[in-house]
Amino acid sequence: MLQQTQVKTVIPYFKKFTKNFKTLKSLSRCSEQKILKLWEGLGYYRRARNLLATSKVLVSEYNSKLPKTIKEIKTLPGVGNYTASALLGLVHNQPTIAVDGNVKRVFSRIINKQESKINFDQFIETNKRKLFNSKRNSDFVEALMEFGALVCKPKDPKCGVCNLNQNCKYFNSLKKIKTTKYKMIESKNYDVFCYVNKKRQIALTKKNNLGFLNQFSLPEIRESRKNIRTRDWKFLKKYKNSISNKKLNINLYYKFSNKIPSSFIWHSMDQNKEFIPTFTKKIFRQVSTLF
Ligand code: SF4
């Protein structure tokens, strides 16, 4: 839940989630619609689906326990090297490090060497005696990530109060490395076409070929192209939206109509029991201004 999401946003979701699922088994028996409804508003919905799929594998194949080898953990749905390393350390207290952007920055500053010139696996292997010199590996994995986020921050690291400053080459060097800047994600333009009726309903389909937000209820959405035919549609608004790690510039069009293509279903813009992604809810808000 915390991927790209702030703690204060996650807390109510986490409480609701753990109240609904007291055990891994109860989670594994949940329907996808229910888990998506509980996740509604958090974004990155693939996480919810992967969590559900993973709970099923753990219950059926591992007696509801997390396996103890990185090879096995990496076979779980949605779990790559980073998550597997974090889980091994956090859950099984094994000497591993989850190397994210924060951790890379800390290591690169301590040795005052550009991130692009460091082989981090090799760096950890070479320094494992120094790095894993306590039995508190799970605290260490967590602390290292927090340290990068709170102390050795991308801008203005708090070197003056940092416990590592005596041994930090960045702090003690006159020629400091430049901190790696990660490229901003490019934004793309999309046209969204909404069928609307007088009952404050909007037609949604799960058959968009977008790649992201696949299988979710959306109006028709297409990547903007020059000379696209929009003459039957009225332009409503231009706005920005982010989904997962994508930035979208939306051109919103609408048309009052009682006829809709067969793959579309009318949805109320006011109340929905089924899961509706935040992206679609934003469209509801814009279209509501027509009434
Ligand atoms: S002294 Fe500064 S640069 Fe070095 S680890 Fe601490 S916060 Fe980071």
Q: Which of 36-45, 166-175, 262-271 has maximum average pLDDT? A: 166-175
Q: Across-strand partners of 267?
A: 202
Alpha helices (H) in 151-236, listed in sequence order = 169-172
The answer to which of 3-7, 15-19, 35-39, 236-240 has the lowest mean pLDDT is 3-7
**Residue identifier of the C-alpha nearest atom 4 of ligand 1:** 168
Our answer on whether the CB atom of 171 is closer than 6 Å to any ligand 1 atom is yes
Least confident range from 48-62, 146-160, 224-238: namely 224-238
Does 162 sit in the ligand 1 pocket, CB within 6 Å? yes
159 lines ligand 1 (CB under 6 A): yes
**Separation of alpha carbons 55 and 49, rounded Å:** 10
- 3-class SS of residue 259: coil
pLDDT (tens digit, 9 = 90+) per residue, 241-252? 887 677 889 999
Of 4-18, 19-33, 49-63, minimum mean pLDDT range: 4-18
Q: Provide the mean pLDDT of the chain.
A: 90
Please indicate whether residue 164, judged by its CB atom, sits closer than 6 Å to ligand 1: yes
Give Cα 274 to chain centroid, integer Å. Answer: 22
pLDDT at 184: 61
Is the pLDDT at 45 greater than 90? The verdict is no
Tokens 């696949």 belong to which residue? Answer: 214
Query: 10 Å Cβ neighbour count for 91?
Result: 13
Q: State the distance from the centre of ligand 1 to the C-alpha of 116, rounded, in angstroms.
A: 19
| Statement: residue 263 has pLDDT above 70 | yes
Ligand 1 within 6 A of CB of 110: yes
Range name among 79-88, 152-161, 182-191 with the lowest pLDDT average: 182-191
CA of 146 to the centre of ligand 1 (A): 13
Q: CA–CA distance from 86 to each of 74, 81, 129 (Å)?
A: 11, 9, 19
CA of 169 relative to ligand 1 center, distance in Å: 9
> What's the CA-to-centroid distance between 179 and ligand 1, angstroms?
12
Phi, psi of 110 (to 5 degrees): -60, -35
The pLDDT, as a whole number, for residue 52 is 96
Lowest-confidence segment of 21-30, 221-230, 254-263, 277-286 by average pLDDT? 221-230
2 vs 26, which has greater pLDDT?
26
Supply the DSSP string of 24-63, one letter for each residue: HHHHHTS-HHHHHHHHTTS--HHHHHHHHHHHHHHHHHHT
pLDDT band at 187, cuts 50/70/90?
Answer: confident
Ligand 1 contacts CB of residue 144 (under 6 A):
no
Query: For the segment 76-91, what is each residue's pLDDT rounded down to a tens digit?
Result: 999 999 999 999 999 9
Question: What's the CA gap between 17 and 275, in Å, rounded?
Answer: 15
**278 neighbors 43 (Cβ within 8 angstroms):** yes
- Ligand 1 neighbour 105 (Cβ under 6 A): no
Cα 174 from Cα 272, distance rounded (Å):
60
Spatial distance between the Cα atoms of 70 and 48, rounded to a whole number of angstroms: 22
Q: If you measure from the C-alpha of residue 42 to the centroid of ligand 1, how many angstroms do you get, rounded to a whole number?
A: 33
Residue 281, pLDDT above cutoff 80: yes
Asked if pLDDT for residue 181 goes beyond 80, the answer is no
Residue nearest (by alpha carbon) to ligand 1 atom 2: 159
Sequence letter at residue 262:
S
pLDDT of amino acid 222: 87
Q: Is residue 53 in contact with ligand 1, taking CB distance under 6 Å?
A: no
pLDDT at residue 34 is higher than 70: yes
Closest CA to 285 of 147, 183, 192, 150: 192
Average pLDDT over residues 231-238: 89
For the entire predicted model, the pTM comes to 0.74
Q: Is the distance from the beta carbon of residue 158 to the nearest atom of ligand 1 less than 6 Å? A: yes
Buried b (16+ CB within 10 A) or exposed e, 270-287: eebeebbbebbeebbebb
- The span from the CA of 86 to the CA of 83, in Å, is 5
